Structure 1
Amino acid sequence: MSSLFPHLFEPITLGAKTIRNRIVSSGHDTVLDDHGMIGDDLVAYHEERARGGCGLIVLQVSGVHETARYTNHVLMATDDSSVPGYRAVAEAVHRHGATIFAQLFHPGREVMDGERGMAPRAVAPSDEPQERFSVVPETLSTDMVKDIIAGYASAAKRITAADIDGVEIVASHGYLPIQFFNPRINSRTDEYGGSPANRRRFLAEVVAGVRAAVGPDIVVGLRISGEEKTEDGLVAGEILDLIAALDQMECEGVACLDYFSITAGDSSTLQGAVHIVPSMQVEPGYAASLSEQVKKITDKPVMVAGRINQPHEAEAAIAEGRTDMAVMTRAMICDPAIAAKSQRDAVDEIRACIGCNQACIGHFQMGVPISCIQYPESGREVTFLPRPRVRTSRKVLVIGGGPAGLKAAAVSAEQGDDVVLCERESHLGGAVLLAQKLPYRTEFGGAATNLIAEAMRAGVDLRTSTEVTQTMLEQLRADHVIVATGARQRMPHLEIADDAWVIGARAYLEREPNLPGGRVLVTDWKGDWIGLGIALRLAEAGTPVTLATAANFAGAAIQQYTRTLLVSQALRTGRIDFLNDARLVGVDSDTGYLQSTLCEIVHEVEGITATIVSGAPRALRPDLDFGTASVRVIGDALAPRTVEEAVFEGLQAATDLAGVA
């Protein structure tokens, strides 16, 4: 038992099942399916979290009806061909002492993908349009409603027959069951619409049908948004009334529901969707206020999701009575062993999630398997784990102490090589340390902190303020060299008048100069964090800004939920003018000249006193003779991109070295 987190590691009983601790990996789409089935990749992914000490693992959504295909990679539980996959993942998770549930799902109108790129077709209680995916659904007939309800029960029976311990009915984030309950969406006039009792009938019949199908010994839970946090969404009072009604339901003397899983948000609008996977702009543990309200109206266990990244946050929420279990899904994507580390009070070893959303939900929204920018082994367990070991230790030199070099050095040392890392600056971390200077991105610096700690624990010889020279190379006599020297700032080709005040974005963040008073033009080549972040930083300090981006819109390269919060904050300042599809070509004393990327038009931004240019970087590589050593170039030194590619290539380079004799 942990001395630091006694509540977090106290067992808890849900229905007929006792869970070993209060840490939950909630249902989240991984895109690790095998043509809609559970295959080796998904089994390995969840097994790693079970091995890492997680108490309860909830599988990603399983469609209960053919109309439930909200993406082209959703798991389906509509026929017996799915059973072997559920059995395989159950066996893998049980092997390590964890409990596993599966989610029962129908999206209703919340459908992202159509067949082969066509517009999505969806069904819903009524034909009320969905804003975020621009979907106008087909109204369900009464017979089809009953068919879908039966689908929940049959899917639950099929899944639990494969040794899955429980099922969780998904009524969160504006999906089908809650669409029926929302009077702003459901305009039906049959038995499933109109009065509150009729509007909750769909969900009540689903709950009763599932319990009857699985019997008293299988756990049945409900996931629901405690508040939808969007216009026309359900508010806390409405949700609490629904939960109170469902809480009283019994099936043949047994409670129909064993627990409630509380989250926040709604999928139908950008405003509500940010709460599905809240990014680093959102306060950690913020949704515990919602679960606290639910606990006041039910004696059943309650769990909550919403930016619980650290064990102390989970411990506090449980100790203060705001929840009974803590959902730490992204925390375990970033560090699958966070539970085991917490239980032995090894908090300094935890690789903390920074809430960037880039490779987890960001990958899902691109339709590719999820991972983590700090821990690219996530989602690639079959490829990279367990870590290989070298037969004979070799001397490995890593040049550069940014994310790519730190990851390569740490993994190489873990595999058994003798690793020296040289960084010419006085500090490690590279450009990550600049990123954390931007508004609402302070946590990003944690990526450097985590990677440095991993390299230190692995025994890497870390040398700062050390530039690698030809003489040093000859002295070290490394067998293998990994070049991770990063990139440098590059200014685009511009016509600049002598009296124009112009500075590169990187230089601005490094030097933090005093700018002339007045409007600042910030130009952005990519639509990433840099231009938008600098503009927001200036605007919040009271400076009027014009943000001009060559992308289609500001923040175009940022994950959707993160961008929504950043742009909404920028709009609230009232000090930022946006200009899209425009590249900077010249600057004089008070005017910036921008060429449209779409046509021959040139935009003139007048009345500016300074220009900050975020341009494309240039790879930086040392001019050295490495002799007989094998050489691998990675990260921005290979081609300037993001932290994600840098860390992945560090892992890849080190893993490849393990196979070199």
Structure 2
Amino acid sequence: MTTDARFPRLFSPLRIGPVELRNRVVSSGHDTVMAQDGVPGDQLVAYQEARARGGVGLVVVQVAGVHASAQYTSHVLMADDDACVPAFARLAETVHAHGAKVFQQLFHDGRELMESPDGTLPVALAPSAVPNERFHVMPRAMPVGLVREMVGCYAASARRMREAGYDGVEVVASHGYLPAQFLNPRTNLRTDEYGGDEAGRLRFLREVLEGVRAAVGPGLAVGVRISVGEESGEGLTAAEALDALGRLDSAGLLDYVSVVAGTSATLAGSDHIVPPMTRAVGYTAPLAAQVKAVVGVPVVVAGRLNSPQDAEQVLARGDADGTVMTRALICDPEMPAKAAAGRLEEIRACIGCNQACIGHFHAGYPISCIQYPETGRERTYGIRVPAREPRDVVVVGGGPGGLKAAAVAAERGHRVTLFEAGRRLGGQVLLAQEVPGRAEFGGAVGNLAGEAQRAGVKIVLGTTVDAAMLADLAPHAVVVATGARPRVPALDLVDSPVVLTAWDLFRGTDVPRPADGRRRVVVADWRCDWVGLGAANLLAGKGWRVTLGVTGYHAGQRLQQYVRDDMLAQAHRLGVDVVPLVRVYGADADSVYLQHVLTDEPVVVDGTAALVLAQGHDAVDGLLREIEGSEAFEVHAVGDCLAPRTVEEAVLEGLRVGSAV
């Protein structure tokens, strides 16, 4: 691989024990919801192949359970039976064919039990019967015999990975999972040989690593992933993690350490598992530097490293020896190859939205990316199929869906012209980036616009397209992507109250300040996503007292948990009052009238200066309705003009239509 001179460290080899990586870009273990009957199948193999082909140095495959009780979700990989070896071997062979190395995570969740195959609650295991706050699980304290059996299960699973041709194994002691539960004196209350003091609490992980090393022999790398501080009141502290790592390294049990932060056990701690865009780039790098001070083996670090420039800086400072760039690779599997070749402007940067990656995982669906829906769909859309013959395609609307449809159609060889009525591309993304803490979301516009421009799309701004214009252009196909507008429902309004939409706020409109000093604004939130919550935080940050009335059980209900937690924490700090289970009914000059959705009883907020509506959207579908059924050209539609939803659906539909025209 040709190496750009700006990345002398990122694209230098890294030796981890007996294994040499071609570069220092790592795709860490992350659940893809692509397991097939507990083993890697076609979808997961294709997914990891895309990253290996794209130039990553190391693929660490998602957790594989070492014991039947480690099945913490219905879609986890399992390495607890010899029958799994051929499927794992196929994945390893595929990754190796593209020059990358492959390690396998070995895993037991302990008390961190998310779900079960049939909906009943199995017995969760842990060092001691200490409950989990996030999942509300009370585990069973493991008998000594079961602890020893579990040690053997790690070793047996490691042996299977050696037989499958893997280059290394990684014991997952991060995020409050079983080994971390043994290390933590607040979750390990045992008084036997596996508890009592630092050495006793370390015994389980030490014996696991000893067994794993014996099982894989000298040819495989053995490492550990650990949270250097679980960011939770009852969690493992950084000092405790560092002490454990120093002891394990002194015993010669480690070839590398993978550093993260947080824990699965609490809401606040779990937000560090896949930190949202409000977390600083590379914010965990200082933790890796602390680890490097106590161990003599390579250290890799995860934590919002979305660009090769950021990764190079971490390496240049000496904070770490390798950089985990998992979401960056979900968003752009070819990022390493592009960076090495100096094609930085072509890299599709992750914006940390968490919607289709960890958001899909939490919902039980295969992961993807709102900007790059080809991820997870490699077998269907991984390779552009050239058009049989070039055609003239007109795309109406320069939001995310229109941009994706235009880019894909042009990449396939069509002559594509995109018309946008406004002076800027981006659609609602231009509003989303104005929400406090969500400025990075605007990067999606630059990424999608860049794809369209590089594909040769002709972009025309400030032009409204109608049916007559399309008749004059006479294209072969028209893609309508005209988006949506804010929905303003019929309300009972008396005495001319101030009523605005969330869009008004995001576009810079200020709430008029009444002469009598009223400072209360009500935000009426129908969808329970980022719009209403973002409007509330924006207003509260400007000094307004805000009541956020939501139709759901809580604000941000439809957001991915880590994003929601961050926005809710901000709302709490700003003093936003949240009223759940209410719909907006009306307003007068100084009161807003809400209605409880379960009882229809009135909920009145007095002393208000304004009502802000976050009531969803209405499709802008006039052009679509006018030309549907046309015999002059094909008609396709994507995104909110079909039905108002999110960026994810718009871009996916753009991919589908661009692939079909």
The answer to whether TM tops 0.5 is: yes
Matches within 5 A, 1:454-493: 454-493=451-490
In 2, the alpha carbon distance for the partners of 1:406 and 1:161 equals 46
In 1, the alpha carbon distance for the partners of 2:509 and 2:96 equals 54
In 1, the alpha carbon distance for the partners of 2:206 and 2:511 equals 62
- Report the Cα offset of residue 120 of structure 1: 4.6
In 2, the alpha carbon distance for the partners of 1:507 and 1:100 equals 50
Q: For residue 81 of structure 1, what is the aligned residue in structure 2?
A: 83
Identify the range of structure 1 (303-312 vs 1-10) with the bigger mean alpha-carbon deviation.
1-10
In 1, the alpha carbon distance for the partners of 2:506 and 2:489 equals 18
User: Is the 8 Å Cα contact of residues 126 and 187 (structure 1) preserved in structure 2?
Assistant: yes
In 2, the alpha carbon distance for the partners of 1:479 and 1:109 equals 58
List runs of 5+ in structure 2 lacking aligned partners. none
In 1, the alpha carbon distance for the partners of 2:117 and 2:11 equals 45
SS at match of 1:523: strand
Among 321, 340, 359, the residue aligned to 2:356: 359
- Report the Cα offset of residue 627 of structure 1: 3.8
In 2, the alpha carbon distance for the partners of 1:79 and 1:489 equals 54
The yes-or-no answer on 1:639 pairing with 2:643 is yes
In 2, the alpha carbon distance for the partners of 1:112 and 1:18 equals 36
Matches within 5 A, 1:274-285: 274-285=271-282
SS at match of 1:117: coil
Q: String of CA shifts for 1:160-184, please: whole Å, max 9, x gaps.
A: 2111110000000000001011110
SS at match of 2:215: helix
Matches within 5 A, 1:339-354: 339-354=336-351
Identify the range of structure 1 (109-118 vs 452-461) with the bigger mean alpha-carbon deviation.
109-118
In 2, the alpha carbon distance for the partners of 1:404 and 1:28 equals 28
Q: For residue 660 of structure 2, what is the aligned residue in structure 1?
A: 656
- Report the Cα offset of residue 609 of structure 1: 0.5
User: Is the 8 Å Cα contact of residues 262 and 305 (structure 1) preserved in structure 2?
Assistant: yes
In the alignment, residue 3 of structure 1 is paired with which amino acid? A
Q: For residue 40 of structure 2, what is the aligned residue in structure 1?
A: 38
Q: String of CA shifts for 1:49-71, please: whole Å, max 9, x gaps.
A: 01111000000000000110110
Matches within 5 A, 1:73-222: 73-222=75-224
User: Is the 8 Å Cα contact of residues 121 and 135 (structure 1) preserved in structure 2?
Assistant: no
In 1, the alpha carbon distance for the partners of 2:593 and 2:123 equals 45
Cα 1:600–1:474 change in 2 (3 A) is closer
SS at match of 1:420: strand
- Report the Cα offset of residue 315 of structure 1: 0.3
- Report the Cα offset of residue 477 of structure 1: 1.1
SS at match of 2:265: coil
Among 390, 394, 403, the residue aligned to 2:391: 394
Matches within 5 A, 1:535-550: 535-550=536-551
Among 306, 315, 321, the residue aligned to 2:318: 321
Q: For residue 335 of structure 2, what is the aligned residue in structure 1?
A: 338
In 2, the alpha carbon distance for the partners of 1:538 and 1:303 equals 40
Q: String of CA shifts for 1:497-528, please: whole Å, max 9, x gaps.
A: 13311111123322423432511111100110
In the alignment, residue 220 of structure 2 is paired with which amino acid? I
- Report the Cα offset of residue 487 of structure 1: 0.7
SS at match of 1:244: helix
In 1, the alpha carbon distance for the partners of 2:121 and 2:441 equals 36
List runs of 5+ in structure 1 lacking aligned partners. 250-254
SS at match of 1:200: helix
TM-score, normalised relative to structure 1 = 0.97
Q: For residue 252 of structure 1, what is the aligned residue in structure 2?
A: none
Matches within 5 A, 1:229-244: 229-244=231-246
User: Is the 8 Å Cα contact of residues 370 and 648 (structure 2) preserved in structure 1?
Assistant: yes
- Report the Cα offset of residue 363 of structure 1: 0.4
- Report the Cα offset of residue 75 of structure 1: 0.2
Q: String of CA shifts for 1:415-446, please: whole Å, max 9, x gaps.
A: 11111111111111001000100001000001
In 2, the alpha carbon distance for the partners of 1:396 and 1:163 equals 48
In 1, the alpha carbon distance for the partners of 2:260 and 2:369 equals 22
In the alignment, residue 188 of structure 1 is paired with which amino acid? R
SS at match of 2:118: helix
In 1, the alpha carbon distance for the partners of 2:62 and 2:44 equals 10
Taking only aligned residues, the RMSD between alpha carbons, in angstroms, comes to 1.0
User: Is the 8 Å Cα contact of residues 505 and 535 (structure 2) preserved in structure 1?
Assistant: no
Identify the range of structure 1 (340-349 vs 52-61) with the bigger mean alpha-carbon deviation.
340-349
Q: For residue 593 of structure 2, what is the aligned residue in structure 1?
A: 593
User: Is the 8 Å Cα contact of residues 52 and 95 (structure 2) preserved in structure 1?
Assistant: yes
Q: For residue 602 of structure 2, what is the aligned residue in structure 1?
A: 602
The yes-or-no answer on 1:577 pairing with 2:581 is no
In 1, the alpha carbon distance for the partners of 2:82 and 2:611 equals 62
Q: String of CA shifts for 1:265-294, please: whole Å, max 9, x gaps.
A: 000000100000000010010000100000
In 2, the alpha carbon distance for the partners of 1:121 and 1:572 equals 38
- Report the Cα offset of residue 610 of structure 1: 0.8
In the alignment, residue 595 of structure 1 is paired with which amino acid? Q
In 2, the alpha carbon distance for the partners of 1:126 and 1:515 equals 58
In the alignment, residue 12 of structure 2 is paired with which amino acid? E
SS at match of 2:359: helix
- Report the Cα offset of residue 467 of structure 1: 1.1
SS at match of 2:26: strand
In the alignment, residue 536 of structure 1 is paired with which amino acid? N
TM-score, normalised relative to structure 2 = 0.97
Among 384, 406, 419, the residue aligned to 2:416: 419
Q: String of CA shifts for 1:396-421, please: whole Å, max 9, x gaps.
A: 11111101100000000001111111
In the alignment, residue 537 of structure 1 is paired with which amino acid? L
- Report the Cα offset of residue 124 of structure 1: 0.5
The yes-or-no answer on 1:305 pairing with 2:306 is no
SS at match of 2:622: coil
Q: For residue 226 of structure 1, what is the aligned residue in structure 2?
A: 228
In the alignment, residue 174 of structure 2 is paired with which amino acid? S
Q: String of CA shifts for 1:126-164, please: whole Å, max 9, x gaps.
A: 110001001000111111111111000000000121111
In 1, the alpha carbon distance for the partners of 2:607 and 2:511 equals 18
Following TM superposition, the consecutive aligned residue runs of length 4 or more in structure 1 with deviations greater than 3 angstroms are: 622-627
In 1, the alpha carbon distance for the partners of 2:467 and 2:67 equals 66
- Report the Cα offset of residue 449 of structure 1: 1.0
